[in-house]
Amino acid sequence: MSEHDIGLIGLAVMGQNLVLNMARNGYHVAVYNRTAAATDEFLALHRAQPITGAHTLPDFVALLRKPRIIQIMVKAGAPVDSVIDQLIPLLEAGDLIIDGGNSYFPDTERREARLAEHGIRFLGLGVSGGEEGALWGPSLMPGGTPEAYGMVAPILTAIAAKAPSDGAPCVTYLGRGGAGHYVKMVHNGIEYGDMQLIAESYDILKRVVGLNNAELAEVFAEWNSGELDSFLIEITAQIFRKADDQGQAGALVDYILDAAGQKGTGKWTSQNALDLGAPTHTLTAAVEARIISAFKAERIAASQLLGAPAPYSFTGDKKAFIEAVRRALYCSKVAAYAQGMALIALASQEYNYDVPLGKTAAIWRAGCIIRARFLADITDAYEADPHLANLMLAPKFRAALSDYQADWREVVATAIRAGVPTPAFSASLAYYDSYRSERLPANLIQAQRDLFGAHTFERTDREGSFHANWSA
């Protein structure tokens, strides 16, 4: 019978958990998976839920009430296009397809245009929160036409995470076209930056100060009770407490290979920022840090060949330096989020998305990987000034950066003296110093370009473009 409120295609863990979330909130859900056995296994485990499965796409579509709402949860790229190709002949004008994967935003806009030719609506939906978030409440980032969003808004509102401070659902309409997947992409770019900054904090505390895993767990747990309160800080403390699960002595973290993987969304953020001319120092440094981590064999060889600084022995006040690292982490996080929000603002203008920055920060307060107390302050900053040019200029963050910057600089300098790489900390500080500098040395670059290539330059004292005879 055509009685189901929504259908979902793709029963990997994220898809399964979203279905269970919808069912728990009272919605009847139809499901389909390319492998019929996966559908049957899922249904067998959840017989009491208002969930019905189908082994063919025509049977699946027939389960849905009109206008039909179908969410695709398959691997980004060609698999999404393949599912859409199979659905088009089965759907009617006014039906809605939602792509809930990590799709690249130009692909979302291409798919929306293609489906519009058939009268079928399309929504690009960023979903953050991992498996637990999908089950109990993710942060949801939808983009498309207002009409497409309106069709599914009640369901998304019901299943979204609720912010701890005011209970507001962590979902809002973000704009037309690829706005939702664009915001999710930048969210992931910020996530890369945040994770790298935390990793560098750990590296400094371990290699410079000499903290052991038990002490690191205590430090991060304490940090999580203050202005750094966040999901990522919380799980970091948890990680340092986990004993090895293969019978070796010590903590599991010490047996994990130091080569981090990535799925591409961080890289997309940096690539798009370069295309738009947006500075994303920290976010790009985080991507590059993951890339160089993969060169493990080369790094092992280089460690025997390339010179290191003289052995560094920390002799200062340990407690004071740990607090300095906390402050440096906070400042660097402000810089990272400032870069991400500024990039969204620039893209919103370039692509005519009209993304609401304050609401964007608000829907990240719960459910997503970067959820943090910090995001309430970002939300407040944009509510106070919707046209804020840069997050670092908001009064609260401006004051913190001013108060903490001496510690920030000391931590970066100490790491450099000790030979501990801090690409994201250093990039964050460089971004701050560049943004606050009334004058940068780009005048010399303009002169160089004009001398060797007659590229012309601008002057400070008059309008126009100029070329000099540098040999005269």
Q: Active-site positions?
A: 184, 191
Question: Residue 310, exposed/middle/buried by CB under 10 A (0-12, 13-18, 19+)?
Answer: exposed
Q: What are the b/e assignments for 387-396, b being 16+ CB within 10 Å? A: ebeebbebee
Instruction: Note if the bond before 386 is cis, omega within 30 degrees.
Output: no
- What is the H or E stretch that residue 361 is in? helix 357-363
What is the rounded CA–CA span in Å between residue 16 and residue 39? 10
* Phi then psi dihedrals of residue 125, to 5 deg: -120, 110
Sheet containing 6-9, strands listed edge to edge, beginning at the edge strand earlier in sequence: 51-54, 29-32, 6-9, 69-72, 96-99, 121-128, 139-144
What is the rounded CA–CA span in Å between residue 309 and residue 270? 32
The CA R_g of the chain, rounded to the nearest whole Å, is: 25
What is the rounded CA–CA span in Å between residue 29 and residue 25? 11
- Angle between the N-to-C axes of helices 395-418 and 423-436, in degrees from 0 to 180, rounded to the nearest 10: 130
- What is the H or E stretch that residue 29 is in? strand 29-32
Using an 8 Å Cβ cutoff, are 404 and 226 in contact?
A: no
* Phi then psi dihedrals of residue 261, to 5 deg: -90, 175
Using an 8 Å Cβ cutoff, are 451 and 461 in contact?
A: no
Using an 8 Å Cβ cutoff, are 77 and 263 in contact?
A: no
Tokens representing 164? 């701890």
What is the rounded CA–CA span in Å between residue 119 and residue 113? 10
Tokens representing 296? 């493990």
